[in-house]
C-alpha cells in the first residue's frame, strides 16, 4: 500500500525524499507528495508539493535546488477519496504549520471530521488521513510528540504516521499501529520509512517500530516510547540486502529481473538447509524441538494471493510426502469465520512482505485462541516474521515488482524442506530422504534450463495476447500452479483468466470453451498424465486452442496440443518449479505486448496493508 519516507540531517531533504519515494513507488503509485521544513525560519509552514501520477511527475515539480534539511514524503494507493492533488499526502492543518503523512485507515474519521468541523476546522480533502493533521494542531502546545500522542488517543484503525511542525525545526515524530515504520540510523542523520528499500542507499542500521510505539528524531538522536510513556530500548538491526538488489541491473523491468533471478533465489532458499548425509532438512528457525514437531498432527497454512498458492502446493506435499493432513486457508476468510483450532495443529503464516493485513490479522486470531503460528516470510524484521513463534526466511532478496514471482518459488522451496522435515520424522526412509534432497538440489539448475523457453514463450504471447479469456488447467500438485498462472496473467496483462482443476472442467467451465478461449494445460509426468491428456482432448474436440506444458520428450502431448512448451524433465513432485516459470514469462510477455505497466499494474499495490 502507500509508502512513507522521512529525513532529517545535513543533506538536501527534497532529493532524499523523492529518491526514497521512487524506491517505494511499488507500494502505491496514484499520487505522491513531500513536505519540507524551511531552513532557519522557525514558524514558517513547511513547503508542500503534491502531484497525481507517478513519482516522475513529482520529481519534475520539485525545484532542483529546493532548500530544507528535514521533511517527509508519501506515495499513495487510494483508499478514501479519489486520485486528486488535494487527496495526495502530505496533509496540513489550517495554519499549514503541521504536516502529516499516513498509511493505514482511520476507521472513525467521519465522527472525528464531524466533531472538528463543528469547531470550525476547514477540510480540503476527502481522505481519512486529514483529521490527523487537524487533531495534532489542536493538541499542540509546543511539543509535537505530546501533541501526536494526545491525538492518537482519538484514532481508531491502523496507522503509520509521520509528522513535522513548523515550530520544531529538524524534528520528525512518527507513530505506528498496524502499518510498518522503520527508523534508519545514519551518521548524523536519521530516516523513517515504511520499508527499508527507501533508506538502503543511506544506511543499513535500522530499528523496527512495534505497534503502539512513537519515535521522535533529530539528526543526531532518536527516542522511542510506548503507549504508556515508557522509554523503549531500541534494538538496532543490520539490513543484509545490497543496494544492487533493488536496481533493475539491465533488465527492462523488475518483474523480468525477478523471474530470471529464480535459479539464484531458490538456491539461497535451500542452501545450508540440506543435510545430505542424513537425508533430512535443517530448519533451525522453527524453534520447536524434534519432540514437539513429532507431536504435530496437522498443518494449516494462512496466506493470501500468490502466497496462498504456494501454501496449496505445500499442503499437497505435506500430505503426500509427509502424510500429515494439511490445508491452506485464505487469510481474509479465516479470520472472520470463527475457526475451530484442532489440537496438535501447527499454523504457518506465509507472506512475502510479512505485512499483509489479512494474513497478519488471521494469524493474530489463531494465536489469540492459543494456536502456534510459524512464519514463512521473505522480508526480515517484517511484522508477521516478528509476531511468529519461529519459522523460515526464504531469502529471495527484495521483490519490487507488484506481481510476485521469485518469492513464490522460494516459498515453494521452504515447503519442500518442511515436507522433508516432517516426512523424515514419520515414514520416509533415510534413502528416500536422500533421493528427495538430491531432486531438490537439482531444482535451481532445472529452473535455469527452463528459462531458455523465453523466446518461444514470447512468440506464444504475441500469438495469443489478444484473446480476452484463458483457462489454466492442472491436476494434483499442478492445480495451484494453474491458479498462479491465471493470477499472473490477470494482474499484469488485465486479460481474464481462470485457473481450474483439469478434472473439474467438464462440470461446468467447459461451456466457456470456444476457438476464442485458449486453454493452458500443465501436464504432469506422473500417474495423472493420461487423465490430463484426456482432458486436453475434450477441449480440442470442442474447438478450443490448447497450449500444453509437459516434459520436453513428451511427443504425444506435443502432437495433440496446438502449441507445446517442452520443459526439462524433473521428478514429478518438483514440477511446480519448472511449470510456473513459463507461466510467469507468458504473463510478462502478454503484458509487454499489450503495452501494460508490468511492474505497476493498475489498481494494485505491493504489500496490502489494509483489509
Ligand atoms: C500476486 C501477489 C499477491 C500477493 C498477496 C500476498 O502476484 O503478489 O497476490 O501474493 O498480496 O502478499 P504477501 O505474500 O506479501 O503476503
Does residue 80 carry a pLDDT above 90?
A: no
pLDDT tens digits along 168-199? 999 999 999 989 999 999 999 999 999 899 99
Retrieve residue 606's grid coordinates: 505491493
Candidate list 2, 163, 377, 465, residue with the active-site label: 2
> Cα separation of 139 and 366, whole Å?
38
Q: Which of 355, 356, 376, 588 to mutate to test the pocket of ligand 1 (most atoms within 8 A of CB)?
A: 356
Using CA atoms, how far apart are residues 374 and 349, in angstroms rounded to an integer? 6
Please tell me the distance from the alpha carbon of residue 2 to that of residue 507, in angstroms, as a whole number. Answer: 42
Of the residues 307, 354, 387, 415, which should be mutated to test ligand 1's pocket, given the most ligand atoms within 8 Å of the CB? 307
Chain segment 81-95, per-residue pLDDT in tens: 889 999 999 999 999
Active site residue 280: no
User: What pLDDT is stored for residue 81 in this prediction?
Assistant: 86
Residues 8-28: what's their mean pLDDT?
Answer: 92
pLDDT-derived band at 322 (thresholds 50, 70, 90) equals very high
Ligand 1 lined by 403 (C-beta under 6 Å): yes
State the Cα–Cα distance between residues 261 and 263, nearest whole angstrom. 6
**249-441 fold:** Rossmann fold (3.40.50)
Q: Grade residue 29 by pLDDT with cuts at 50, 70 and 90.
A: confident
Instruction: Among 313, 352, 487, name the best residue to mutate to test ligand 1's pocket (greatest count of ligand atoms within 8 A of Cβ).
Output: 352
- How far apart, in whole angstroms, are the C-alpha atoms of residue 596 and residue 583? 17
474 pairs with which residues across the strands? 501
382 lines ligand 1 (CB under 6 A): no
The model's confidence at residue 30, banded by pLDDT at 50, 70 and 90, is confident
CATH 3.60.20.10 segments of the chain: 3-239
pLDDT band at 19 (very low <50, low <70, confident <90, very high): very high
- Is residue 228 predicted with pLDDT exceeding 80? no
Nearest CA to ligand 1 atom 7: 403
pLDDT surpassing 80 at residue 41: no
Least confident of 20-34, 61-75, 179-193: 20-34
Lowest mean pLDDT among 196-205, 310-319, 544-553, 602-611: 602-611
Q: Residues 469-482: pLDDT tens digits?
A: 999 999 999 999 99
Question: Tens digit of pLDDT for each residue in 491-536?
Answer: 999 999 999 999 999 999 899 999 999 999 999 999 999 999 999 9
**3-state secondary structure string, 347-380?**
EEEEECCCCCHHHHHHHHHHHHCCCEEEEEECCC
What residue ranges of the chain are covered by domains with CATH 3.40.50.10490?
249-441, 452-599
> How far apart, in Å, are the Cα atoms of 162 and each of 148, 220, 327, 340, 405?
9, 18, 40, 39, 32
Average pLDDT over residues 577-601: 96
Residue 27 has pLDDT above 90, yes or no: no
List b or e across 125-158, with b for residues whose CB sees 16 or more CB atoms inside 10 angstroms: bebbbbbbbbbbbbbbeebbbbbbbbbbebbebb
Q: What integer pLDDT is reported at residue 276 of this predicted model?
A: 94
* Distance (Å) from CA 347 to ligand 1 centroid: 18
Neighbours of 514 (CB within 10 A): 12
Question: Does the CB atom of residue 351 touch ligand 1 within 6 A?
Answer: yes
Please work out whether the CB of residue 584 comes within 6 Å of at least one atom of ligand 1: no
- Per-residue confidence (pLDDT) for residue 603, from 0 to 100: 84
pLDDT band at 142 (very low <50, low <70, confident <90, very high): very high
In the chain, % of residues over pLDDT 70: 100
Average predicted confidence (pLDDT) for the chain: 95
Q: Residue 89 in 3-state DSSP? A: coil
pLDDT higher than threshold 80 for residue 332: yes
Task: Spell out the SS3 assignment of 529-564.
Answer: HHHHHHHHHHHHHCCCCEEEEEECCCHHHHHHCCEE
Mean pLDDT of 306-322: 97
Q: What is the pLDDT of residues 369-407, one digit of tens each?
A: 999 999 999 999 899 999 999 999 999 999 999 999 999
Query: In angstroms, what CA-CA distances link 538 with 133, 137, 213?
Result: 62, 68, 60
At the second CATH level, the architecture of 452-599 is 3-Layer(aba) Sandwich (3.40)
pLDDT of residue 43: 86
Top CATH class, 3-239: alpha beta
Distance (Å) of CA 500 to CA 478, 519, 551, 577:
10, 10, 21, 18
The confidence band for 319, taking pLDDT boundaries of 50, 70 and 90, is very high
Query: Looking at residue 25, what is its pLDDT?
Result: 83
Going across the sheet that includes 391-393, the strands are 326-330, 298-303, 345-351, 372-377, 391-393
Cα separations in angstroms, 4 against 141, 471, 491: 26, 39, 24
Between the CA atoms of 445, 447, 450 and 451, what dihedral angle is there, to the nearest 10 degrees? -100
Kindly tell me if the per-residue pLDDT of 96 is higher than 80: yes
pLDDT of residue 185: 97
Q: What is the mean pLDDT of residues 418-437?
A: 96
- Give the count of alpha carbons within 13 A of 279, CB side only: 13
Mean pLDDT on 151-166? 96
Taking the CA atoms of 549, 550, 553 and 555 in sequence, report the sign of the dihedral they define. negative
- Say if CB 444 and CB 264 are below 8 A apart: yes
Q: Is 306 in the pocket of ligand 1 (CB under 6 A)?
A: yes
pLDDT over 80 (residue 609): no
Find the 363 Cα to ligand 1 centroid distance in Å: 16
Q: Based on DSSP, count helices (H) and strands (E) in the chain, helices before strands.
A: 20, 27
- Please tell me the residue having the least CA distance from ligand 1 atom 3: 305
SS3 state of residue 194: coil
**Whose alpha carbon is nearest atom 10 of ligand 1?**
306
Confidence of residue 605 (pLDDT cuts 50, 70, 90): confident
CA of 351 to the centre of ligand 1 (A): 7
166 CB under 6 A from ligand 1? Answer: no
Amino acid at each position: 500500500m502507500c509508502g512513507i519516507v522521512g529525513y532529517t540531517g545535513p543533506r538536501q531533504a527534497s532529493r532524499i525524499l523523492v529518491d526514497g519515494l521512487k524506491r517505494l513507488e511499488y507500494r502505491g503509485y496514484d499520487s505522491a507528495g513531500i513536505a519540507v521544513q524551511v531552513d532557519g525560519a522557525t514558524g514558517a509552514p513547511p513547503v508542500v508539493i503534491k502531484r497525481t501520477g507517478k513519482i516522475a511527475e513529482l520529481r519534475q515539480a520539485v525545484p532542483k535546488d529546493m532548500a530544507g534539511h528535514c521533511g517527509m514524503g508519501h506515495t499513495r494507493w487510494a483508499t478514501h477519496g479519489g486520485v486528486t492533488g488535494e487527496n495526495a499526502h502530505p496533509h496540513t492543518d489550517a495554519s499549514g504549520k503541521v504536516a502529516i503523512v499516513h498509511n493505514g485507515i482511520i476507521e472513525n474519521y467521519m465522527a472525528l471530521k464531524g466533531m472538528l468541523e463543528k469547531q470550525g476546522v476547514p477540510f480540503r480533502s476527502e481522505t481519512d488521513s486529514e483529521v490527523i493533521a487537524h487533531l495534532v494542531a489542536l493538541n499542540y502546545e509546543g511539543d509535537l510528540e505530546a501533541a501526536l500522542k494526545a491525538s492518537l488517543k482519538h484514532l481508531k484503525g491502523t496507522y503509520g504516521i509521520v509528522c513535522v511542525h513548523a515550530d520544531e525545526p529538524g524534528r520528525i515524530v512518527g507513530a505506528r499501529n498496524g502499518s510498518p515504520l522503520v527508523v534508519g540510523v545514519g551518521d548524523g542523520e536519521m530516516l523513517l520509512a515504511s520499508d527499508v528499500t527507501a533508506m538502503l542507499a543511506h544506511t543499513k542500521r535500522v530499528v523496527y517500530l512495534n505497534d503502539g510505539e512513537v519515535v521522535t528524531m533529530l539528526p543526531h538522536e532518536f527516542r522511542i516510547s510506548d503507549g504508556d510513556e515508557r522509554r523503549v530500548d531500541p534494538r538496532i538491526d543490520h539490513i543484509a540486502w545490497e543496494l544492487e538488489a533493488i536496481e533493475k541491473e539491465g533488465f527492462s523491468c523488475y518483474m523480468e529481473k525477478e523471474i530470471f533471478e529464480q535459479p539464484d533465489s531458490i538456491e539461497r532458499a535451500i542452501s545450508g538447509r540440506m543435510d545430505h548425509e542424513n537425508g533430512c532438512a535443517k530448519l533451525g528457525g522453527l524453534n520447536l524441538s524434534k519432540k514437539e514437531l513429532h507431536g504435530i498432527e496437522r498443518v494449516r497454512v494462512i496466506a493470501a494471493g500468490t502466497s496462498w498458492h504456494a501454501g496449496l502446493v505445500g499442503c499437497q506435499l505435506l500430505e503426500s510426502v509427509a502424510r500429515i493432513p494439511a490445508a491452506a486457508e485464505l487469510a481474509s476468510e479465516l479470520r472472520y469465520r470463527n475457526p475451530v483450532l484442532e489440537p496438535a495443529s501447527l499454523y504457518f503464516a506465509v507472506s512475502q512482505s510479512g505485512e499483509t493485513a489479512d494474513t497478519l490479522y488471521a494469524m493474530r486470531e489463531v494465536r489469540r485462541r492459543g494456536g502456534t503460528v510459524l512464519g514463512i516470510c521473505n522480508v526480515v524484521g517484517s511484522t508477521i516474521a516478528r509476531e511468529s513463534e519461529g519459522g523460515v526466511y526464504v531469502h529471495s532478496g527484495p521483490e519490487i515488482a507488484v506481481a510476485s514471482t521469485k518469492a513464490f518459488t522460494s516459498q515453494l522451496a521452504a515447503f519442500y524442506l518442511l515436507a522433508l522435515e516432517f516426512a523424515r520424522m514419520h515414514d520416509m526412509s533415510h534413502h528416500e530422504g536422500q533421493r528427495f534432497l538430491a531432486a531438490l538440489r537439482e531444482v535451481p539448475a532445472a529452473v535455469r534450463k527452463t528459462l531458455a523457453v523465453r523466446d518461444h514463450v514470447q512468440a506464444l504471447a504475441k500469438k495469443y495476447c489478444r484473446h480476452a479469456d484463458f483457462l489454466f488447467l492442472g491436476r494434483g500438485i499442478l492445480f495451484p500452479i494453474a491458479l498462479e498462472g491465471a493470477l499472473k496473467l490477470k494482474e499484469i496483462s488485465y486479460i481474464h483468466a481462470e485457473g481450474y482443476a483439469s478434472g473439474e472442467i467438464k462440470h461446468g467451465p467447459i461451456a466457456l470453451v470456444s476457438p476464442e478461449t485458449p486453454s493452458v494445460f500443465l501436464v504432469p509426468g506422473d500417474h495423472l498424465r493420461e487423465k490430463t491428456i484426456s482432458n486436453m482432448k475434450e477441449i480440442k474436440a470442442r474447438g478450443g486452442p490448447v497450449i500444453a506444458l509437459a516434459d520436453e520428450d513428451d511427443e504425444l502431448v506435443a502432437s495433440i496440443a496446438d502449441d507445446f512448451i517442452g520443459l526439462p524433465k524433473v521428478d514429478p513432485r518438483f514440477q511446480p518449479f519448472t511449470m510456473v516459470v513459463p507461466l510467469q514469462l507468458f504473463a510478462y510477455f502478454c503484458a509487454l505486448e499489450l503495452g501494460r505497466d508490468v511492474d505497476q499494474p493498475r489498481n494494485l499495490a505491493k504489500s496490502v496493508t489494509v483489509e
